[in-house]
Structure 1
Amino acid sequence: MKYTDVVSNVNVYGMDSAVMGSKYPMAVDLTKVDGTIVPRTHALANAKPGSGHDNFLNGIIVQFDLTFTNKAWVEAERYHFLDFISSQSTMHRITKFNLDEVYISYT
């Protein structure tokens, strides 16, 4: 299975602004701050979660379509690292599915 079988339609928003914001604490001249990723950016992104040093990551929004089994969705919903915009309704659409096409091959 390829990752594209599970994750598709990926869009990333706010990367440049978040990277710029991560440079403000150490900047002397704010006019020279840009969105270039530098070693400090990597260090901040890899800082211990909850330390505050990785906070600029909150400014980066990643949207994507995710194809999971029902069991995986139950587990994903248990933890708050995903915000759901919408999902396909099995209850409303199951009679219209071609079940041979909608089953995931690894299940």
Structure 2
Amino acid sequence: MEHATFNGAAFIAALDAQRQSRKITWKKVAEEAQVSASTLTRLTQGRRPDVDSLAALCSWSGLQADTFMKGSQKQNYSEPLANITAYLRADPNLSEEGAAALEVLIKTAYERLRT
């Protein structure tokens, strides 16, 4: 059985994307998520969050912790591009044309860069 690990770099990148979309500072993230600013600093330095901070940040951001687990075999794995497409199409801030245009860009870049 493979040992699962937490991908902190992916988690902090996703939090940063959420922070930027809300146009708020890291200090405001800490306040809204009810975690210490030092927790966020530690995450940006590659350290792992404690379980309560992880839960609070997932709750604040709407992210799911299992998305950031690597090394474990997921029983119901869905392709990243499928998830991205679904999220883009569900975004109320994007028109259908805008979502489709972003899909083309992301899919093209993904196909070119994936290993």
TM-score, normalized by the shorter chain, greater than 0.5: no
**Bigger radius of gyration:** 1
Greater share of strand: 1
Structure-1-length-normalised TM-score: 0.28
More helix by share: 2
